[in-house]
């Protein structure tokens, strides 16, 4: 994690001091003993820095007859790392004690950013994160906003809270969405305690139980009668929910040369204890296949399904709206079952992609990643099709395009140009997509 990286980077400052101590072992082997020999080394006072790191940093070993002067040199070595307020080495019975008091070196980051993408336009984002916000606890908070979007995402994670590989977390998420291409707005807020088990570096299993409050509001006059009925029947729901998650990750390398695979499965049971229980499933996955140096094939799949569990029906705020980055060539919320000018979303969606990418390295210019891709899929299904007046069947859509990713003055830029090949009447296309983020 971030903390480990900083620890090793900081502790490496004492390399020069270590060089002055490398004669300890040689002296012990070849010369007379002028200090008592300790059979073990014990570190006391460590909170955030692993004890083995403290011991290894200046080469402290059991069985070496350190003189008092050498113990003072080791203290100076450890103090030179600038992560301790105080260091003391002394003998206690058969042990050599390294007693430390750590400085408050909990790394934190406060940053602001302006993002532009073709889906959400210009969005301001303010974020804060800190390792060891409390002992052993990672904390993060992110706020995003523009005229159409207000989001808050916060989380606390206790690594190994209940033993090795068993974490505890607490998350809070809220949003208010009022897109100008929709005839309604939606609000939601949820809080969720969760457990996560990491049986392996590439596997994470999560179980969460939380409470969500959400509503559909502000339906415009002249909107689809289905949307009006759904807003009235929903009202405001506050109810518990269950979540089960599985994440697989076997990726290697940074974004431009990444290989391996990643996959995610999320299962929700919303509105427990009410007459409106919903089952929602979300899946996503991506495989990076190397073809030759700097060339790879990227295969992607994402999809979802939402179902009423007791004869009830999902509403627009529950359904899926692929498009934009999720289905290049089509506008955000630009495809699926429609009623007049209103895209209603689908109970199901599925989008697959195939992309051939190659990394280019320029001698006098930025490196960039270029690709050619094909996306195919759709969104379909309504529990209430108004007696057949709304076409909610499976209608395949597809698109072809090219993509380009590069950095300009350390600002990441991602763009694509795509053209729909298969589309339905009423679908809204989007030929050009752009994502730019600038942090400050």
Instruction: Please give the residue range of the domain that contains residue 235.
Output: 113-439
Same domain flag for 231 and 294:
yes
Same domain flag for 72 and 119:
no
Mark which of 44, 78, 102 sits at the end of a domain: 102
Does some domain include residue 125?
yes
Same domain flag for 123 and 249:
yes
Does some domain include residue 389?
yes
Give the end-to-end CA distance of the chain in Å, rounded to a whole number: 23
Least confident segment among 97-101, 120-124, 295-299, 377-381: 120-124
pLDDT digits 0-9 by tens, 307-332:
999 999 999 999 999 999 899 999 99
Does some domain include residue 294?
yes
Same domain flag for 98 and 177:
no
Highest mean pLDDT among 14-18, 158-162, 346-350, 423-427: 346-350
Does some domain include residue 164?
yes
Same domain flag for 385 and 413:
yes
Across all residues in the chain, what is the average pLDDT?
88
Cβ atoms 235, 279 nearer than 8 A: no
pTM: 0.76
Same domain flag for 20 and 93:
yes
Q: What is the CATH number of the domain that holds 375?
A: 2.40.160.50
Same domain flag for 204 and 55:
no
Least confident segment among 234-243, 248-257, 330-339, 363-372: 248-257
Q: State yes or no: pLDDT of 11 exceeds 70.
A: no
Same domain flag for 240 and 314:
yes
pLDDT digits 0-9 by tens, 101-126:
888 655 677 888 777 766 677 889 89
Residue 241 pLDDT: 99
Does some domain include residue 183?
yes
Residue 440 pLDDT: 60
Least confident segment among 44-53, 210-219, 419-428: 44-53
Residue 83 pLDDT: 86
Least confident segment among 76-90, 122-136, 139-153, 169-183: 122-136
Residues 6+ positions from 139 with CB-CB distance below 8 Å: 128, 129, 130, 133, 154, 155, 156, 157
Residue 42 pLDDT: 94
Does some domain include residue 108?
no
Q: State yes or no: pLDDT of 7 exceeds 80.
A: no
Higher per-residue pLDDT: 265 or 412:
265
Q: State yes or no: pLDDT of 373 exceeds 80.
A: yes
Cβ atoms 113, 427 nearer than 8 A: no
Same domain flag for 126 and 214:
yes
Same domain flag for 118 and 98:
no
Same domain flag for 177 and 91:
no
Q: State yes or no: pLDDT of 161 exceeds 90.
A: yes
Same domain flag for 250 and 353:
yes
Least confident segment among 76-85, 150-159, 429-438: 429-438
Residue 240 pLDDT: 99
pLDDT digits 0-9 by tens, 25-74:
443 344 444 568 889 999 998 877 888 889 988 989 998 999 999 999 99
Residue 313 pLDDT: 96
Q: State yes or no: pLDDT of 100 exceeds 80.
A: yes
Number of domains composing the chain? 2
Residues 6+ positions from 301 with CB-CB distance below 8 Å: 283, 284, 285, 286, 350, 351, 352, 353
pLDDT band for position 22 (cuts 50, 70, 90): very low
Q: What is the CATH number of the domain that holds 93?
A: 3.10.20.310
Mark which of 42, 69, 102 sits at the end of a domain: 102
Does some domain include residue 375?
yes
Residue 131 pLDDT: 81
Does some domain include residue 107?
no
Q: State yes or no: pLDDT of 9 exceeds 80.
A: no
């Amino acid at each position: 994690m971030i903390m480990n990286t900083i620890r090793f980077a900081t502790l490496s400052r004492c390399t020069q001091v270590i060089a002055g101590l490398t004669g300890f072992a040689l002296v012990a082997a070849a010369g007379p003993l002028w200090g008592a020999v300790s059979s073990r080394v014990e570190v006391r006072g460590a909170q955030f820095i692993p004890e083995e790191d403290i011991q290894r940093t200046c080469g402290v070993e059991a069985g070496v007859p350190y003189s008092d002067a050498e113990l003072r040199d080791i203290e100076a070595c450890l103090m030179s790392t600038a992560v301790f307020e105080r260091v003391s080495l002394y003998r206690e019975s058969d042990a050599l004690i390294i007693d430390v008091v750590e400085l408050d070196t909990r790394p934190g980051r406060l940053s602001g950013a302006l993002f532009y993408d073709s889906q959400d336009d210009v969005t301001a984002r303010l974020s804060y994160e800190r390792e060891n916000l409390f002992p052993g606890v990672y904390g993060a908070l992110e706020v995003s906003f523009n005229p159409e979007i207000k989001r808050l995402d916060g989380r606390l994670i206790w690594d190994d809270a209940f033993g090795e590989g068993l974490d505890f977390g607490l998350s809070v998420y809220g949003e208010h969405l009022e897109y100008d291409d929709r005839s309604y707005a939606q609000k939601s807020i949820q809080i969720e305690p969760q457990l996560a088990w990491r049986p392996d570096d590439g596997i994470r299993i999560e179980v969460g139980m939380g409470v969500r409050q959400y509503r559909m509001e502000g339906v415009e006059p002249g909107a689809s009668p289905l949307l009006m009925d759904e807003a009235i029947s929903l009202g405001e729901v506050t109810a518990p929910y269950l979540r089960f998650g599985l994440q697989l990750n076997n990726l290697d390398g940074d974004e431009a040369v990444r290989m391996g695979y990643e996959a995610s499965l999320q299962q929700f049971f919303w509105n427990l204890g009410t007459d409106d229980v919903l089952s929602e499933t979300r899946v996503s996955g991506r495989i990076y296949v190397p073809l030759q140096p700097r060339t790879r094939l990227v295969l992607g799949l994402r999809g979802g399904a939402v179902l009423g569990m007791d004869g009830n029906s999902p509403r627009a705020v529950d359904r899926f709206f692929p498009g934009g980055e999720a289905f290049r060539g089509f506008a955000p919320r630009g495809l699926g079952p429609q009623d007049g000018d209103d895209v209603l979303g689908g109970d199901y969606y599925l989008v697959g992609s195939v992309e051939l990418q190659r990394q280019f390295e320029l001698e006098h210019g930025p490196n960039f990643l270029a690709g050619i891709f094909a996306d195919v899929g759709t969104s379909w299904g309504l529990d209430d099709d108004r007696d057949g007046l709304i076409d909610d069947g499976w209608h395949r859509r597809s698109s072809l395009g090219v993509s380009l990713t590069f950095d300009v003055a350390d600002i990441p830029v991602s763009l694509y140009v795509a053209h729909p090949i298969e589309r339905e009447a009423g679908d809204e296309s989007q030929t050009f997509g752009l994502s730019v983020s600038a942090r400050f």
